[in-house]
Structure 1
Amino acid sequence: MPPTNSPTLRQRRLGAELRKLRERAGLTATGAAELLGVNQARVSMMETGRTPISADRIRAMARVYDCTDDKLIDALAAMTGRRSRGWWEEYRDHVPVALVDLAELEHHASALRVALMIHIPALLQTTDHARALFQLAAPPMRQYEIEHRLTHRMKRQGILHREDPPPYTAIIHEAALRMGFGGPAVTRGQLKHLLDMSELPHVTVRVIPFGADDFPTTGQPFDYLEGPVPQLDTVQLDSHHGASEFLDAEAQLNKYRAVLHCMESSALSPTETRDFIHRCIQDH
């Protein structure tokens, strides 16, 4: 199978996990190549996601690396094969590549948790609300850029409406409910939509009110995307300059799990949150 010069985030993650297994086994790329019966360049391409790998190859590597975690091995084997052409690939030339990668991650996630301070989560936004946000971008976006971003965002929301939707939890600060992006009518429509989405059995919305001052956060929004096993979880961080950072080191994952736990302990219950949103709608 020919190598690729533009591996997806999922392919790069598979390669990175293989590198971690090799390093834990105390093997160099050259040493691993000898045991696997391939050249060192082949090992390097597999670890950078530049060449497809079969499930059988994954299991052979796990044996060479003395990995006995069957759940992890099965999860890695499920990530193998040729690059899939998901709907997000249509946008690779039209939106930042990080948004394409995020859509792919969301599609494969077993569960999603997000935390935001001043914005409604992207997967819970109305079209009018999202358009209002894109129109406020600095520097301004061209109209066709706004439309690409808008259709991409709406397609991302499809994971919450498919036959097997992942559990989705959104922790939102009260500030996000009080922002008036797009004006009163758009804001009321957004809050009503948020309320409707919170009624879905797989969607949990919890609000942190202004009065709660004991939660640990810098205000930076982040997504926590759960993989089939905890080792394959990913944290996605937004940044003001438009790029996204994806974190998957064990210490980083543990940190954000702890942050989410503390934020959830400061948030209203789902029922209290729905009552709170009702009051916010009346205020707008």
Structure 2
Amino acid sequence: MAVPPPEDSARAFFAFHLKRLREQRKLSQVSLGKAVHASPSLISSIENCTRTPSLSIARALDRVLGVQQFFEALHPRIIEETGLPIGFAELTDAEAEASTIKLYENFVITGLFQIEEYARAVLQAAERPDKLEFLVAARMERKEQLHREEAPMVIALFDESAVRRPFGDREVMEKQYLHLLHLAQEPRIALHIVPMDSGLCPEGAFKVLHFPESPAVGYAESAGGQGRLIETGRHVAQLDVLFEMIRNKSLSGIDSERMVRGLLEAL
């Protein structure tokens, strides 16, 4: 796919000057990635306009490439163009680097596990038609994290109500349940359901992401998809403890699969 010209959008302008400055300073995508603590594939994707840079990456690029608030100043405009929540780019970048992703969902099946039809049904009630398909595509792009060369270990805890709650018609839910059962067979994915009578009320969905050589970060969901990245060590540790408390109350992997099969058969 051809990279759009820099005048097309803020993201294309960002990509053009990132490649220009990188090559001007004789840096490969690998060496630049190491310098800004990002994978070479992320640098390549930003240059090809297939990934949205996070604010932290923009700031790191300014520092490493020796420009003052150039990429950082472009970031708000890029986010404005996409219509994505501010924290979304930070989350996707963190997911791309994580070795382990722990997540708890209390309302819907997590975006990483959604099929396209389910994602569209979830998003369509609150989004304009002209923005909907872009958001669905962004959500499907995130799923590639599960299939990259060094894919993360994903431990997913779903409140029972999140799995039971229907989005779309019977066919959509059938495909979504089958997809969950398929994912449950993957060696690097663990899926657990938290029964309704567990006596827990975590109050909101959240994630904890662990990295090979960096401190863990958290991500807390909020209304309207306006999530925020949490980097304060104490707060991240609290989320990690909460996750383990929820996991201790959840069904085993085998019993969780059995529940999903039961829901599938009951459609």
TM superposition score normalised by structure 1: 0.67
Q: Which position in structure 1 is the counterpart of 2:23? A: none
What is the deviation of 1:166?
Answer: 0.7
Q: State the match for 1:278 in structure 2.
A: 261
Who is 2:24 aligned against? none
The 1:273–1:242 alpha-carbon spacing in structure 2 relative to 1, beyond 3 Å, is closer
- CA distance, structure 2, for counterparts of residue 242 and residue 274 of structure 1: 28
What do residues 108-127 of structure 1 show as CA deviations (whole Å, max 9, x unaligned)?
Answer: 11110110112101100010
Aligned residue in 1 for 2:202: 217
The DSSP-based 3-state class of the residue aligned with 2:197 is coil
Q: One-letter code of the match for 1:151? A: A
Structure 1 residue 85: Cα displacement: 4.8
* 3-state SS, counterpart of residue 168 of structure 1: strand
Gaps of 5+ in 2: 1-9, 11-26, 28-33, 54-77
- CA deviation profile, 1:246-273 (whole Å, cap 9, x unmatched): 1111210111111011011000111111
Of the candidates 144, 166, 176, which is equivalent to residue 158 of structure 1?
Answer: 144
Of 59, 63, 88, the match for 2:51 = 88
The reply on whether 1:132 has 2:121 as its aligned counterpart is: yes
- Matched residue, 1:122: 111
Instruction: Indicate if the aligned counterparts of 1:88 and 1:152 stay in contact, CA closer than 8 A.
Output: no
Paired letter, 1:259: L
Q: How does 1:55-204 map to 2 (within 5 A)?
A: 79=37, 84-86=43-45, 87-89=50-52, 92=79, 93-94=81-82, 95-137=84-126, 141-204=127-190
1:241–1:177 distance in 2 versus 1, CA, 3 Å? closer
Percent identity over the alignment is 21
Q: Partner of 1:249 in structure 2? A: 232
**Larger Rg, first or second structure (1 or 2):** 1
- Say whether the 8 Å CA contact 1:216–1:263 is kept in structure 2: no
Offset from partner CA, 1:200-258 (integer Å, 9 cap, x none):
11111000111221x3511x1111111224x6211111111332211111210111111
How big is each residue's C-alpha offset from its partner over 1:12-50, in whole Å with a ceiling of 9 and x where there is no partner? xxxxxxxxxxxxxxxxxxxxxxxxxxxxxxxxxxxxxxx
